[in-house]
Structure 1
Amino acid sequence: MDSMKEQLVISYQNPVGGMTEIGDPFVLKTNDLYYMFATSEPSRGFKVWKSKNLVDWDDEGLAYDHEMQPEEWATGDFWAPEVIYHRNKYFMTYSARDRQGHLKIAIAASESPSGPFIDICKDIVRQEGSYIDGHIFKEDDGTLFFYYVKDCSENIINGKHVSQIFVQPLNDDLTQLVGEPQLLLEPDSEWEGLDADFQWNEGPFVIKHQEKYYLMYSANFFGSADYSVGYAIAEHPMGHFIKAEENPILVKDLEKGISGPGHNSVTTSLSGNDMYIVYHTHTFPDNPSGNRQMNIDRLYVEDGKLKVDGPTANKQYIFL
């Protein structure tokens, strides 16, 4: 391999980064660098890791520290941070438990992807109940759409605890949702655990490809080996989304030591030519828990269908 190819191609083997005790990994590409945010210790905020190649990651410390906020509105359960670049700033969406015991989704802002992020809105959904897993999709014209999960902890339907995915437009300064909530997805397939008392469609993430919108999501309990990824397709960010018949597209492979692959994000190579799915798996597949690690595999669209070259545990290549 010559020096030019060494700059463009890097080999790796999942899991990547060497970090454990994380979950819900989100990767932001900005200024030819990658930043990874995750549910992580310490439990008062979110750390950030930086990379030049998606494989080798440096711990940059806390990007969001709740103890440094103007108001310490939350008591714990800081989950699922995501960051976008908009109007020359970086905005983080995350969920945490408020002092009344409900899970709420907040928005924080920073001049840098490494932080510090400062809260600008502590409850973007502003509805009764618990809400998690905020995801912001930015349309080509800059319009923002906010996807979120009505959490099963307080959402009981026909005697079942159910997590559902909703969407609303988001105003340009990221402080207020617009219009009425639109229900997009809820558990309705056998692989999504319909017999269980607790059911999940969560971790929404949207990509656009050839004027179609692909809404990726995770189903089943995150602490279960059966935690998996599916997707749905629509002609508009607000739906109507139709789940793919071939779901799920990312599932466990216990023979390879892969358990509970899910809650993904998507990033691209530095050239923008290749897509990669970023997801967590259980650090100890024989004893699945909240202890998780980061994985990366190739993601692509073929004949209108979203496909993953994974989950993998052997040597792979990233084309930067």
Structure 2
Amino acid sequence: MTAGTTGAAGSPGGSGASGVPGPVREYTNPVWDGYFADPFVLRAGGRFWAFGTGGGEHAQELIGLVSDDLVTWEPHGPVLDPATVPDGRPHHWAPEVIEHEGQYVLYYSAGLYDTGHRIRAAVSDHPGGPYRDQGVDLTAGEPFAIDPHPFRDEDGTLYLFYCVDRLEGERVGTVVVVDRLVSPTQLAGEPRPVVTASSDWQLFLAGRSMYDAVHDWYTCEGAFCVRRGGRYWCLYSGGNWQKESYGVAAASAPHPLGPWTEEPGDLPTVVRTTPPTIGPGHASVVTDDDGQDWLVYHAWDVGGEARRICLDPLDWTASGPVCRGPSAEPRPAPAVRDLG
């Protein structure tokens, strides 16, 4: 069986052609053995398309997987058309995709290793790509911008959540902002704050040399927005993955442009490091055929050498989203009925 699959085919609790209940499908994290960071999952064309940041021989390249059931994955690619990759910025992070007017638009950041990253857009007629870079820096005015997340509101308005460095305030570091997309390749140029570090658990590194100075550097990144219960929720990762306080938290707002607020707390509330799972973060949300939300996230192996794609159910409580994870044992798989 392919990585992640531990049960027989057929939807959870479902019946076979004879009407006899079939075996429960199960999965075990990680659901793909290869390096796969910053996972985003798009459901399109009857399949699930995952996009992420590569490692190993695909270090800092965009990589793709495809699945029919969220559990059994196979590679697809290339994600980017190599003829359109921006010159001088060969390292690409954290891709996410949205369908727009019959095409698919992929957002990602491009830089040189961990410097000079800007948000880019690429277009394809097929959800799996290859995507053609459109030759535009959407965040040309920022010295560093990463982790783009496109979001379409119910009225059709497009927004882009992304992360930038800010040196003002009590806790300086990487923050989450949001701006309206005038078109798929142009921002309004009016970024609004979404998440700024407010707690000690969001500290990435004390005494970090950044921008010709030394700072206690805080990190909030990897934003993903969903609307549930009449409010907008932004899930984000915070802190340092090497510490047990690292994980995913959530802010909420009445509108995508805010104002965004968080419940006070000292630790991430959605999911956090729970050995043997280390550094669960940079999550996206996908919904199965039973209406259950699933948190798709990466987590490090025990040796801290690779990030791998994982998933667990995401529940909505009176105080916000809570993931039933991180898990490392076999569990019932997502409900997907059109397995063929």
Check conservation: 1:250, 1:308, Cα contact below 8 A. Answer: yes
Could you tell me which residue of structure 2 aligns to residue 234 of structure 1? 253
- Give yes or no for the alignment of 1:78 onto 2:88: no
Aligned counterparts of 1:96 and 1:72: Cα–Cα separation in 2: 8
Check conservation: 1:90, 1:113, Cα contact below 8 A. Answer: yes
Could you tell me which residue of structure 2 aligns to residue 298 of structure 1? 313
Pair member with larger Rg: 2
Aligned counterparts of 1:221 and 1:188: Cα–Cα separation in 2: 15
Check conservation: 2:147, 2:163, Cα contact below 8 A. Answer: yes
Structure 2 residue matching 1:264: 3-state secondary structure: strand
Q: Which letter maps to 1:36?
A: A
Aligned-CA RMSD value: 2.4
- Give yes or no for the alignment of 1:60 onto 2:96: no
Post-superposition offset of 1:210: 2.6
Q: TM-score, normalised by structure 2?
A: 0.83
Q: TM-score, normalised by structure 1?
A: 0.88
Could you tell me which residue of structure 2 aligns to residue 190 of structure 1? 200
Correspondence list, 1:161-180, <5 A: 162-172=173-183, 174-180=184-190
Gaps of 5+ in 1: none
Gaps of 5+ in 2: 1-12, 207-215
Structure 1 residues 74 and 225, CA, compared in 2 at 3 Å: closer, same or farther? farther
Q: Which letter maps to 1:29?
A: R
Q: Which letter maps to 2:44?
A: T
Could you tell me which residue of structure 1 aligns to residue 3 of structure 2? none
- Give yes or no for the alignment of 1:3 onto 2:16: yes
Check conservation: 2:95, 2:106, Cα contact below 8 A. Answer: yes
Structure 1 residues 238 and 272, CA, compared in 2 at 3 Å: closer, same or farther? farther
Check conservation: 1:135, 1:147, Cα contact below 8 A. Answer: yes
Check conservation: 2:201, 2:246, Cα contact below 8 A. Answer: no
Post-superposition offset of 1:309: 0.8
Correspondence list, 1:170-319, <5 A: 170-172=181-183, 174-193=184-203, 196=206, 197-222=216-241, 224=243, 226-245=245-264, 247-254=268-275, 257-269=276-288, 271=289, 273-283=291-301, 285=302, 287-289=303-305, 291-303=306-318, 305-317=320-332, 318-319=334-335
Correspondence list, 1:138-153, <5 A: 138-151=152-165
Post-superposition offset of 1:249: 1.9
Structure 1 residues 101 and 301, CA, compared in 2 at 3 Å: closer, same or farther? closer
Aligned counterparts of 1:14 and 1:35: Cα–Cα separation in 2: 18
Could you tell me which residue of structure 2 aligns to residue 25 of structure 1? 39
Aligned counterparts of 1:6 and 1:95: Cα–Cα separation in 2: 44
May I ask how many residue pairs the two structures share in their alignment?
Answer: 306
Check conservation: 2:202, 2:240, Cα contact below 8 A. Answer: no
Aligned counterparts of 2:180 and 2:92: Cα–Cα separation in 1: 24
